[in-house]
Amino acid sequence: MSLKLEIVTSEKNVFAGDVDYVGVKSSDGELGILPKHVPLVTELVEGKVTWKLNNKSQEVNISGGFLEVVNNKVTILADRVD
């Protein structure tokens, strides 16, 4: 089972696809999100967003934003992506 991940800014869609894991830095600390994660909304702080699919990692840097997890879908609304 996998997660759907979507990373967007107000200007563009950065990534959309299936992943096995999402790692982010929230205002409460580091978060790791796997399939069947409980629903969640949290503020993200500046740092890396990492995702894995088939043991291959990718990452982007964000300046902050918000994350929502609902029904195996992770949506990240980033202020800016570098």
C-alpha R_g of the chain? 11
The 10s digit of each residue's pLDDT in 4-53 is 999 999 999 999 999 999 999 999 999 999 999 999 999 999 999 999 99
- Which domains occur in the chain, in start order? 3-78 (2.60.15.10)
**DSSP code, position 38:** P
Determine the distance from the C-alpha atom of residue 19 to the mean position of all C-alpha atoms in its chain, rounded to a whole number: 10
Cβ distance 63 to 79 under 8 Å? yes
**DSSP code, position 79:** S
Take residue 20 and report the two structure tokens written for it.
Answer: 């096995």
Helix H or strand E encompassing 53: strand 47-53
In the prediction, which pLDDT does 64 show? 98
In the prediction, which pLDDT does 1 show? 84
